[in-house]
Amino acid sequence: MYRLLPMIKIESVRAVEFTHPTRRSVDAAGHSHPGPLGTGRQALLTIRSADGVEGHCFAPPQVVRPHVLNQFVRRVLVGGDALQRERLWADLEHWQRGSAGQLTDRAMGAVDAALHDLIGRTLGVPVWQLLGGYRDRIPAYGSTMCGDELEGGLSSPEEYADFALQLVEKGYKAIKLHTWMPPVRFAPDPGMDIKACTAVRKAVGPDIALMLDGYHEYSRTDALRIGRALEELDFTWYEEMMNEQSTSSYVWLAQQLHIPLLGPETLSGKHYARAEWVKAGASDILRAGVNGCGGIGPTMKVAHLAESFGMYCEIHGNGAPNLAVCGAIRNSRWYERGLLHPFLDYDEVPAHLNAIIDPMDSEGMVALPTGPGLGEQINFDYIARHTEATY
Ligand code: LLH
Ligand code: MG
């Protein structure tokens, strides 16, 4: 004798675009840095059920723009059953092929996360429990912003070392450096990356786990030079140091180094591309994040793929959907907390939230949220007062 869960019938999909104050500015290569107080823009995607329950996900407005919602997302979702999210995802993927590149993995990721939130909120349970409930807390690593030319910021190896000490003081037991990339004038520079990593290791001692996420377009030989230095410095992993579209370059590097290579992070192709990386021996630790990999569903598939091959899968990026995956799987060692910078307070609650999703304790641990769905505490009043468009 069994009972099916009652259908969670999807009634509507909508997005609101709102503004919020921010001190982050984005450089010509898309990396964020501290900046003057300015105005940021986000969209809140909302999927509403016939019972009046709503699931949400934040996304860049261009990702969930009207064309995407009208042509693909509403056609697939409205009238459907949120509990069939695997089927809905497959139907979206079907539309993706003929969408002329308009239905992106990122759009699918936002829709899939909002669907998970809707299911969790309807059932009154956290998504990380629904997905696997492996743990209720996870160690965080402090993930720095990319290097800059701001005095007192991240403009020299010494400043990375000072900042790393501050992070250890806060409780972090692991730190990842993002080093200098263009448009920083002196970047890329393998020698500077090695100096920064050396200074940080010297400052924090042998017991803090360290990782490097450097310039993403190094040549094989520059990447090898840095990798050999990281081995001397006992780094835990080495991430996205070359263009990830060149699988052969990663295979080449993996064959020369014993430090674990981690990836792919930005490569398109969702779980399919990651399976190819495992087969090719292009990385030792797999990588996927909800935003870039097409959602919570495919990210879980990547994690389970990695587990089946005895590999870790480290989840890319912070935020509620990624944290939910971290709580559900066993083969991720850390949650990526950041991006961090000496001039910015990561713990400051953004105007559109009532609390951050990932407060960290003095032992460097982040607790999984206990609220239903993705557990995001959204400030709907603020968003309503700062909405500029609804679609
Ligand atoms: O500056 C950035 O946005 C980072 O490079 C970003 O891609 C970051 O999320 C990352 O690589 N984390 O591992
Ligand atoms: Mg990265």
Length of the chain: 391
Q: Enumerate the β-bridge partners of residue 14.
A: 46
Kindly state the average pLDDT of the residues 274-295: 98
266 lines ligand 1 (CB under 6 A): no
146 lines ligand 1 (CB under 6 A): yes
This model's pTM is above 0.95 = yes
Q: Enumerate the β-bridge partners of residue 9.
A: 81
Sign of the C-alpha dihedral computed for residues 88, 293, 330 and 324 taken in this order = negative
Kindly state the average pLDDT of the residues 156-161: 98
CB 300 within 8 A of CB 269: no
- pLDDT score, position 331: 98
Using alpha carbons, list the distances in angstroms from residue 104 to 13, 46, 107, 109, 300.
17, 18, 5, 8, 19
CB 303 within 8 A of CB 288: yes
pLDDT at position 2 over 90: no
Rounded CA-CA distance 311/272 in Å is 16
Q: Report phi then psi at 34, rounded to 5.
A: -65, 145
**Residue closest by Cα to atom 1 of ligand 1:** 31
Count Cβ atoms below 10 Å from residue 363 Cβ, excluding itself. Answer: 11
Rounded CA-CA distance 254/375 in Å is 38
pLDDT at position 221 over 80: yes
178 lines ligand 1 (CB under 6 A): yes
pLDDT at position 264 over 90: yes
**Residue closest by Cα to atom 3 of ligand 1:** 31
32 lines ligand 1 (CB under 6 A): yes
Each residue of 164-208: pLDDT tens digit? Answer: 999 999 999 999 999 999 999 999 999 999 999 999 999 999 999
- pLDDT score, position 302: 98
> Which percentage of the chain shows pLDDT scores above 90?
98
How many angstroms separate the alpha carbon of residue 240 from the centre of ligand 1? 10
- pLDDT score, position 3: 83
- pLDDT score, position 129: 98
Q: Which two tokens stand for residue 303?
A: 């994690």
- Looking at residue 113, its amino acid is A
Kindly state the average pLDDT of the residues 291-301: 98
- pLDDT score, position 390: 97
R_g of the chain, CA atoms, integer Å: 21
CB 75 within 8 A of CB 13: no
Mean pLDDT of the chain: 98
- Looking at residue 182, its amino acid is P
pLDDT at position 43 over 80: yes
> Which percentage of the chain shows pLDDT scores above 70?
100
Confidence band (pLDDT; 50, 70, 90) for 29? confident
Task: Indicate the pairing of strand 335-340 with strand 137-144.
Answer: parallel
Each residue of 312-346: pLDDT tens digit? Answer: 999 999 999 999 999 999 999 999 999 999 999 99
Task: Indicate the pairing of strand 365-367 with strand 137-144.
Answer: antiparallel
284 lines ligand 1 (CB under 6 A): no
What are the b/e assignments for 295-305, b being 16+ CB within 10 Å? Answer: bbbbbbbbbeb
How many angstroms separate the alpha carbon of residue 244 from the centre of ligand 1? 14
Using alpha carbons, list the distances in angstroms from residue 30 to 33, 181, 280.
10, 11, 29
Torsion angle of the four alpha carbons 120, 103, 60, 364, in this order, in degrees rounded to the nearest 10: 50
